[in-house]
A and B are shown apart, each in its own frame.
Chain A
Amino acid sequence: MTSETYQDWKSIVHRCFRCGYCKFTHDFSDFNCPSYKKFRFETYSTGGRMWLIYGIINGDLQWSQNLSNVLYACTTCGNCTENCRYDKFNEFLVDIIEVARAEAVGKGFCPEKQKILLDRIENSEMNNPYGDTNSNNEDLKKLYNLPDKAEWVYFIGCTSNYRQKNLRDATLRFLKKVNINFTLIDEHCCCSPIIRTGQIKPVKDFMNYNITQIRNAGALKIITSCAGCYRTLKKDWLKFGGEYDFEVYHTTELVKQLLEEDKIKFNSEYDKILTYHDPCHLGRHMGLYEVPREVYKQIPKLKFVEMKRNRENAWCCGAGGGVKIGYPDWSVEISKERLEEAKETGASVISSICPFCKTNLSDANEKFNMDFEVLDLIEILDRLDIEINKKI
């Protein structure tokens, strides 16, 4: 992704007619673009951004920090890609914004707050966006008695490894419980945060490092509980020229497969009303809508309820696209709106399958005293009695 790549978009950016479908849900029930709903100027709709980007391409506009800020005030949730009606254009909208962000970075207009992500990831003591000392995961390997080589690698992801350790540990326990032959690697950031914020310079190096680590572990399959890592490994790494032959799974896909093959069975009950939040990186970005729902619905006594906006129409949690670090207050306001919607369902538990969504929903839950239990699906499974069918 270089300046030359950016020019490739020249042939389609101006196709945007600014008709405004991108702002809505499918049925026009609400504005579903977090950025437009917050700022309300046309500039902050995807159409506005497309016109700004085209303005730069054709020389009507010059780069500035203000202009760059408009591009960064977007969670890249993909609502626009779902609702724009122009085929072979709509699918590229988020990509165009990310490429334009990369151009902004190249011109020296990356917002200061987002720069921290790159600084920390490039710091060889850290290699993660949270600024913690890098964990080579050797302690975890010892604790869970994991081999050096295995069929599967559990790619923990930075959010689970440094901020949502409960989610990580629940995943580790689940994989052990269901007898998956897996190991861990000394992983570095998958690069999702810096790809989303256009800071793409080191991506190939990080990607190649991680691929090498996975190969050294002899793994044929990767499993992750993180929606961001899942999208990045499965989609972005290929875009960045990554060459690998392992399969990438989200934990939920494995759970569903084990249930379908009768290899596991839930023996205890979860007697609560639960609603599910679709992570943008799994839903709109990867089309994974039904798999988690099928798993929730197999948990005995769990009453599953949908929020008004779900699946392709889901309201974003507000954490993605660098918004959590760039606009921390607005970011949790977006999550607050999600929790208010969850409240209408009568649920006491809001659950997702993404540590970043969990972080932001939890932050809003705490800040606005919303009184939910915010849990990842894997944390719920961790509380269940799971019977393993050893005959199969």
Chain B
Amino acid sequence: MLKKDEILRNLEEIVGKDFASNKLEDLFIYSQDPGASEPRPVDFIVMPKTTEEVQEIMKLANKETIPLVPMGGGLTLSGLIIPVKGGIVVDMKRMDKIIEINELSQYALIEAGVTTGQLLFYLNENYPKLQPPIPDAPPSATIAGNVLIHGSGYLSQKYGDHGAMINGLEVVLPNGDICKLGSCAVSKYWFARGPIPDLIGLFISSFGTMGIITKLSIQLFNKTRFREVVFGLLKDLKDIPNVLLRLTETGLAEDILLGMQDKPDWMKGYIFVIAYVTGESQEEIDSHIKVFKRIYRKSKARYMKTPERIKNAYLEKPIFAAAAADYRKGGGFEYVGANMPLEQIPEAYRRGVEIAKKYGIVPTLGSRLIGGTHNIVMFFSYSFNRADPKDLENARNALHETNKLALELGGIPWKAELVGQQLILEKMDPNYKKLFNAIRSTIDPKGIMNPGNWEV
């Protein structure tokens, strides 16, 4: 077993002296995220530049049985990049090359540290007719980090969750093997996921427990010339399913979100329907807006004429969702995202408001459609003041109670923190767990990959 200074020296030999650290101040920053998780100790941080460097790090960790935790933008907010059992945080952000944009097969082949802001700008500049699927997260979130947690956001209503948009992965396995998954395993084109046994799913929402992704191919989509947002207002929660079904059956919406919050005061008492329409001309957009207005009228909703300032805020890419993290002016924010069936959405809103009020938090809830009404992601948001222990405790309790609520209503907490993972595991089919554990222990017999996550 190597001593700590020997491990650091080994890491420095792999990535260079400037990109491996066990300095106290670096460990402090990487021991926590902006969410409500407790800080947990980190032993080293390393920033590889190439797949080969990742491979060497993996071999070292495997030989010495040191936990490894891969990290993208560090914005899951649920502590997934904070080691549970110490070890090395592998910050992937130096692997930031956009390797290829394929305009015909419409994909981007990128390294795992490419940020959403970087890819968005690159496409806007060089391929203005293409757009990437990006989350409602700050531009420093990485594309890989988003898709590997079943992320969602732009284009999800139309095309599904972002994890489903992965065409291929390059993965470094715990034994140091570099493995290509998807069409790239057979072809020089990273254009599709199959048709071969689909192993990519093993790496999605497994929170870095299977290996480290170094490259990925992500689908791109046509970008229309015009994009507009059409707001509707609902008074009664029970009308939500009907209006969403009516909107999605038109096939005209690029994305659809719902929002409900008690502040500012003018928003209280309403459910906001936020539908995005796209088109190649203003006439086309106007005709789509007419359709949506008609649906709102017939679905007990009211079309809401929106000030430009608010409209522009919703048209910004990425949307400034981090504004919600500043409601308490305290730099703390976490939400339970939960994938839910449409029929439970009204109840999820009703009970979510109750939980927020119980813990003295201004109710701030929302949802996003994924692939029509097949899957709805609910957001139960809890902004808190990091400097106020009571506020933090309230947020933790509210999060825990909300995770339980999501499971009770037949939903599944998304990118769940450790406690949420435990709740999911308690409800999970035993044979699913058995299969998952069997695969995991085959791939990672020493249990070095983000240990503590998805553990019974």
Contact = CB atoms under 8 A, between A and B. Distances in A.
Given A19-B325, A40-B47, A64 B24 contact: yes
A95 B326 CA distance: 20
A85 interface: yes
A60 B322 CA distance: 25
Contacts of A58: 387
B436 interface: no
Nearest to B120: A28
Interface stretch (B232-240, B327-335, B340-348, B403-411): B327-335
Contacts of A42: 29-30, 74, 91
A146 interface: no
Contacts of B118: 28
A300 B321 CA distance: 48
Contacts of B120: 28
A21 B385 CA distance: 20
A48 B33 CA distance: 11
Interface string A48-67: 10011011001011001011
B121 A29 contact: yes
Interface in A44-101: 48, 51-52, 54-55, 58, 60-61, 64, 66-67, 70, 85-86, 89
B28 interface: yes
B75 A52 contact: no
A21 B26 contact: no
A17 B326 contact: yes
A14 B29 CA distance: 13
A14 B385 contact: yes
A40 B28 contact: no
Interface residues on B, range: 35 or more
Interface in B325-370: 325-326, 329-333
A39 B47 CA distance: 10
Interface residues of A, number: 35
A269 B251 CA distance: 62
A55 B28 CA distance: 9
A54 B29 CA distance: 11
A135 interface: no
A17 B23 contact: no
A58 B329 CA distance: 17
Interface in A92-140: none
A332 to B, nearest CB: 17
Instruction: State the majority secondary structure of interface residues on B.
Output: mixed
Contacts of B93: 40
A40 B19 contact: yes
Contacts of B6: none
Interface in B116-138: 117-118, 120-121, 124-125, 138
B25 interface: yes
A14 B139 contact: no
Nearest to B137: A19
A89 B74 CA distance: 22
A19 B330 contact: no
B413 to A, nearest CB: 22
Contacts of A4: none
Given A14-B331, A55-B28, A67-B24, A28 B322 contact: no
Given A21-B138, A42-B30, A52-B25, A14 B117 contact: no
A61 B121 contact: no
A24 interface: yes
Q: Identify the 5 closest CB pairs spanning chains A and B, nearest first.
A: A20-B140, A28-B117, A19-B138, A19-B322, A17-B325
Interface of A: 10, 12, 14-21, 23-24, 27-29, 39-43, 48, 51-52, 54-55, 58, 60-61, 64, 66-67, 70, 85-86, 89
22 contacts: A12-B329, A14-B331, A14-B387, A15-B326, A15-B331, A17-B325, A18-B33, A18-B74, A18-B331, A19-B138, A20-B73, A23-B140, A24-B139, A28-B115, A28-B117, A28-B118, A40-B47, A42-B30, A51-B29, A52-B28, A66-B25, A85-B323
Interface of B: 18-19, 21, 23-26, 28-30, 32-34, 45, 47, 73-75, 91, 93-94, 115, 117-118, 120-121, 124-125, 138-140, 320, 322-323, 325-326, 329-333, 385-387
